[in-house]
A and B are shown apart, each in its own frame.
Chain A
Amino acid sequence: MQKTEIAVIGAGPAGLAAAIEAARAGAQVTLIDENERPGGQLFKQIHKFFGSKEHRAGTRGVEIGVDLLEEAKRVGVITRLNTVVYGLYHDKCLGLACGDHSEDLQTQAIILATGASENVLAFPGWTLPGVMGAGAAQTLINIHRVLPGRRILMVGAGNVGLIVTYQLLQAGAEVVAIIEGLPVIGGYGVHASKVRRAGVPILTSHTIVSAEGGESVERAVIAQVDNRWQVLCGTEQTLEVDTVCLAVGLSPLAELAWMAGCRFSHVPTLGGWVPLHDQDMQTSVPGIYIAGDVAGIEEASTAMEEGRLAGLAAAGTLCHLSPEVGEIKKSEVRDRLAALRWGGFGEGRAVAKRQIIEARCEA
């Protein structure tokens, strides 16, 4: 049976950062991802990141991704791509499916950095070709360089909906409208202003009623909703579109944590069911850590910091760091994490995260 000290599952920003930090400390690290390429969602994030200098504000996600991959290689992280982790067992053995065969990997600590999946909305016509997640559309344009359609309706005015709209415009598509069920825009003002300046209307208190068409989407019917999410009769309007993008939130991809028997809590601010974790990102199962969107939906900068924290903690429990040095390094990361969760947009997440940590400590 193959062995590794620390297995990191998911080679997105959280997983890469975790693997680098643990390997830098001297641990033997295997980074596993089901995709052909590492980087998770980083390589489609062609926009510049926010935050402060330490968070690499002003740098595009793609560049951060390239740097992380180089660094991972330099510090000796073993990367296994095209590999699905099908099972996580109580002896900390992982079941791996790679191509046409399966393998076991015996680990001493595991960091889950499996990210999130896009939520969907169910409405008449939602299975027609042309209805897709906004993240899928972003992958098509930024990674594969293919336009998903010509005339697009974006459902959801959070940051994903706003950013993907702008990138669709840059790629040459027309975004007919962004609709948002809430009475307010969820995403940053700066992103909203940008798409508005480009001429895309943002209709708040609006929902999609149906998508229509023969072989694929040809039209979408939208309507206004009241404060109880009920469609107001007579407000329906039909938009000629060939694509409907759904940007209605993300959910943590936490199946492996369920399988490991981790305790969970339902936290709507963080995207739903989230595994409880402590200050070190350790779940209720000793030796199993989480980082990034699986630990609650946030964004790439927090994901990387959580990854560093988990990497330091996991390497620390395997004696690759002295407790004193480990604590100093971890508290630096925690300070940066707190800074990322500061302000109007971050406060809710900061409170939710504190609750997760408190619940974990009581558990």
Chain B
Amino acid sequence: MTEPVYDVIIIGAGSVGTPAAMFLAEAGFKTLVIDQFASVGQGANKAAIGGIRATHSDPAKIRLCLKSIEVFSTWQQQYGDNLEWIAGGYCFVAYRPREEKILKNLLAVQKEYQLNIEWLNREALLEAVPALNPEGLIGGTFSPDDGSASPMRSALAFYRRAREKGAVFQFGEKVTGILTVRGRVQGVHTNQGTYSCGSVINAAGPWAREVAETVGLDVLVVPDSHEGGVSEPVAPFLRPMLVDIRQTSDSANYYFYQHATGQIIFCITPAPPMVGTDRRETSAFLPQVSRRMVNLVPRLCNLRVRRTWRGLYPMTPDGFPIVGLAPEVEGYVHAVGMCGQGYMLGPGVGDLLVRLIQGNLTANDDEVLRGLRPDRPFRGQEKLK
């Protein structure tokens, strides 16, 4: 039997695997993507709400997302597909001194990395976001270069471009094993056959741990779930993504924005987290999130919700992704544990994976990968999830 020989096999055609396939194919790698679902972006990607920001608190995610923003914001100009990108900015609001302090502390770090982000006092913030509830508002951060786009349109656009550049996609196939010889990756077994390759990238999102187990590695990715929802479309009145990081007894932060289609898309972080892969909507979500949203932007009380859903977050112990070569298996690459930010990190990670596989890393890349090493101690905690 003659088998097709690939340079790289990517497991997972989602937020990370699809743009990675595109960049690898563009760079001339013979690339195969294998996904258990019937088409591109059918796992966690389609549950993403579409927010894209570079205003994180660590150099790795900042750098990766800056690259992603470059890809999303220039895509239509370059390739014609409308990804529904809008540079509406991100706004983290403070109504209590506690949040003001957290955000101002982070601001210092963010400015160090030359991010375009400012602290707006109450008046300036109300001018930027007139819909905000003024009562008790102290101020907030505003980062105008961040934005939003459509995860579905993006996945399709990256998929088409990847195919044009020669990447091959096998859908409806489940990876059952990774073939290694003397500690080196040789190929991938699926329930349909075997493909040989030089490198394997695990980009399996919430299913990353099962995939890693097939090569005998334990990668610390545990899925939990968040619920999201979308409203009917209304005329534009809300420009940035609003993020409220106040904790309550049953939820942590929540965030929402007005999409290019005029719909408000929203999400909340439940407390405690809902660990596991159950994706049935809960009765608690909509009353919980809408109460908080209406409190923040009172005019939302007139809006009707169209649909809610529940999606998976592939979480790591410290809230940071795991990206890099596996020290234990030559040719095996982790691109997992995006912790709910796979959509915004995807293009940046994909672009970096090219140089990682080429062995052509820059000093910046080294800094990014240091923060995301698979063999790090996982002791810290991400501050701005």
Residues of A within 8 A of B (CB): 86-87, 89-91, 93-95, 100, 102, 104, 259, 261
Chain B residue with Cβ nearest A92: B283
Given A89-B283, A95-B287, 7 more A-B residue pairs with CB atoms under 8 Å apart are: A86-B305, A87-B281, A89-B280, A89-B282, A94-B283, A95-B286, A102-B287
Chain B residues whose CB sits within 8 angstroms of the CB of A89 once the complex forms: 280-283
Whether the pair A91, B287 counts as a contact (CB closer than 8 A) is no
- Interface pair B290/A87, CB less than 8 Å apart: no
Cβ distance A102 to chain B, nearest Cβ, rounded Å? 6
Q: Could you tell me the distance between the alpha carbons of A104 and B286 in the complex, rounded to whole angstroms?
A: 10
A102 and B301: CB pair below 8 A?
A: no
17 residue pairs from A and B, CB less than 8 Å apart: A86-B286, A87-B281, A87-B283, A87-B286, A87-B308, A89-B281, A89-B282, A89-B283, A91-B282, A93-B283, A94-B283, A95-B283, A102-B286, A102-B287, A104-B283, A259-B281, A261-B280
- Find chain B residues with CB under 8 A from A90 CB: 280, 282
Size range of the chain B interface in the assembly = 10 to 19
What residues on A are CB-neighbors of B301 within 8 Å? 100
Q: How far is the CA of A331 from the CA of B193 in the complex (A)?
A: 55
Q: Return chain A residues, CB-CB under 8 Å to B282.
A: 89-91
**B contacts, CB < 8 Å to A:** 280-283, 286-287, 290, 301, 305, 308
Q: Is the CB of A102 within 8 A of B290?
A: yes
- B304, closest chain A residue (CB): A97
Residues of B within 8 A of A261 (CB): 280
Residues of A within 8 A of B280 (CB): 89-90, 261
CB of A260, distance to nearest CB on chain B (Å): 10
Residues of A within 8 A of B283 (CB): 87, 89, 91, 93-95, 104
Q: Which residues of the other chain, A, contact B290 by a CB distance below 8 angstroms?
A: 102
Closest 9 pairs between A and B when the two form their complex, measured CB to CB: A93-B283, A89-B283, A90-B280, A91-B283, A104-B283, A95-B286, A89-B282, A89-B281, A104-B287
A87 to B308, CA, bound (A): 10
Q: How far is the CA of A261 from the CA of B281 in the complex (A)?
A: 11
User: Chain B residues near A259 (CB, 8 Å)?
Assistant: 281
How far is it, in angstroms, between the C-alpha of A244 and the C-alpha of B168 when the chains are bound?
53
A150 shortest CB reach to chain B, Å: 37
A260 to B1, CA, bound (A): 48
Across-interface contacts of B308 in A (CB, < 8 A): 87
Chain A nearest CB from B284 CB (Å) reads 8
